[in-house]
Structure 1
Amino acid sequence: MTAGIGHNSGRVIEPGHSWRKHVWAKARKDLMPTLPVEIVRLRVKRAAQLGLPYKTYAGIRASSGHDLIGFMFSNNALHVLRDGQELPADRAAKLDALVDTARTGLGHRPVTPTHLAALPGIDRAFTAPRFSDSWSQMRDRMREIIISQGQPADRFVMIGDTAFEREWAEAAQMAGYLSARQFFR
């Protein structure tokens, strides 16, 4: 019986395999920039200031091409589901530990921006896009929020707790999205 199209006929390594592997590894290495040690140290320090593992920070920085200046937190990610509710201690501690980082809150009803802005560790707060908004309405709302920050969207990461909040980051063309579980662990 003969093997069909696309089958390797049981041959795992064909002639020339080691050369192709060497060339491929060299090409990958050449694509990766070689950073001076001092730059790497500065980036490790910045990752710590942002409260992110270096690998996460480096990936976001590589994809956006810019350093991060802040985060936008949904009220879901903060575990604040109504006005008058306090920020949980673990969330407050993480926000308090951030250095040179903008911390913006986005609240859905019934949470108001006034309540979010009064929470420890939140610098500014806004009304989040509504669940009933169309994609373009959501995009426009997120752009308004970004413009009011005075910085490009790709300098911020969205911290959320739902797929809907991930869409905010995509609509605004932010640097990325992290789940609250990833960020607050």
Structure 2
Amino acid sequence: MDIRSRGTVRPIRHVGDPVLHRPCAPVTRYDEELGELVEDMFASMYAAEGVGLAANQIGVSLSLFVYDCPDQSDKFRKGVVVNPVLIMPRVGERHIDAHDEGCLSVPGQRATLGRPDRATVHGFDTTGNPVTVEGTGLLARCLQHETDHLEGRLYIDRLPAKQRKRLLEGYRGATRSPAAG
């Protein structure tokens, strides 16, 4: 994973932060400020040792994400998608892949979650040119996970209620200070 980036590392927002639980606004300006945000997102993702990061995870409620992760053939793919639209294969043309999933916004917790093994995202690059990313394996999971973030949804929201509750209790227990008891 590339650990070099020109951006500034920003703190990752955690579950419960309102910015993570509401849909993001579309990007309307493709300018230098957007480019700087993307650099900060890559720097923050690498510092947190992630493979994808949505803008709202660093407190910016705009519809874009960055990624640097392998596809099914272990080839690393890196990029940014602005205003993504997720396209899933039709039922019957996809396989549900149940794998462990985690999130930088719910640190220390993981859960098995079934997601389609292929996904496509249409959107734009930082200059407003159209991009399409087709993903398999972990990249497909990443595209779905990051698009969920932009819609105000965390992966834990897709879990059965009891499993989600246990995971959140584990997260809260792990983040309590010893003095808090």
Return the structure number with greater relative CO, CA threshold 8 A, min gap 6: 2
TM over 0.5: no
Larger radius of gyration: 1
Q: TM-score, normalised on structure 1? A: 0.24
